[in-house]
Amino acid sequence: MGSPDFAIESLKKLNEDDNIEVVGVISQPDRKRSRNKYSPTPVKEKAIKLGLDVVSFDDVNTDEALAFIEERKPDFLIDVAFGQMIKKRLLETYKDRIVNIHPSLLPKYRGASPLNHALLNGDEVSGVTIMLVDEGMDTGNILKQEEIKIGPDDMLEDLHDKAMVLGADMLVDVINNYDYYYKNRQKQDDKRAVTVGKITKDMGKIDFNLRAREIYNKYRALTPWPGVYFNYEDKNIKIHKMDIIEEYNDANNGKVISVSKDCIKVAVEDGYIAITRLQLPNKKPLDVSDFLNGNDFPQGVIL
């Protein structure tokens, strides 16, 4: 059971393993994308290419969905970024056989956006947890856990791909050696739990009163979606590339110190933000040199 790109690697690795048979795939319903056309989820599209039996349900807890599952007599249900809550009846029917990949070192970062928050908070280590699903939000027993080192310039897509590949390999190992991992499962320490919610568009607004590294971490965590932006002349201008310079300055926070074909340099609490690629509303992203060909951006303004 999976939906986005993150789940494709797990589906692929499970399907390739000689000891495992994928007897069915469940994904979210097709969604309207553009021009009123409907597109399948990445997992459904991949399952079709692999020739697997794949269906979509608005709710996986219905009689129809349960009948589809029971007809295939699975040993395990695998939940990878599926996007639906698994409720009591399925949990009871497949007790201790519903396995989930969560891209964090649980109980830290339970919830919808663990990778984003690892970057937002400037963590140097993230990880992947293979766990059992229960009625709580990412509260099930831990079967296996491994760390991922986060580089200082790793972007969300970098961390996503590391967790995706590691999680798929860990999942196959757990399924092939389930008795061992189940016997050695560990209960989560709820006292250490940190829960994070969904990422929203408004989180991308930059506060130039923050330190350079805090702003850069926001850029790493929220690119490509929803992206980071600042407001200038009542327009939200999105930043697609930036660098930081961490050094003392006595300029007002948010002041544009210099404008050149290389970057727009903005003072912050402990240094500067160097903006090298940006985008006006309803326009395409441009490098600063191209942006300045058709747009005025004066030195000295306060953002």
Task: Give per-residue pLDDT as tens, 206-233.
Answer: 999 999 999 999 999 999 999 999 999 9
Measured distance CA(198)–CA(276) in Å, rounded = 28
What does the block give as tokens for 129?
């947890």
- Sort strands 235-246 and 228-232 into parallel, antiparallel or unpaired: antiparallel
Nearest CA to 132 out of 142, 124, 147 is that of: 142
Using CA atoms, how far residue 255 sits from 124, 176, 242, 289, in Å, is 30, 58, 16, 20
pLDDT at 58 over 80: yes
Task: Give per-residue pLDDT as tens, 190-211.
Answer: 999 999 999 999 999 999 999 9
Measured distance CA(40)–CA(19) in Å, rounded = 28
Q: pTM for the full model?
A: 0.93
Sort residue 73 into left (φ over 0), alpha (ψ -120 to 50) or beta. left
Nearest CA to 80 out of 157, 6, 156, 176 is that of: 6
Residue with tokens 């609490």: 269
Q: Is the separation of the CB atoms in 269 and 212 below 8 Å?
A: yes
User: Per the omega criterion (within 30 degrees of 0), is the bond before 29 cis?
Assistant: no
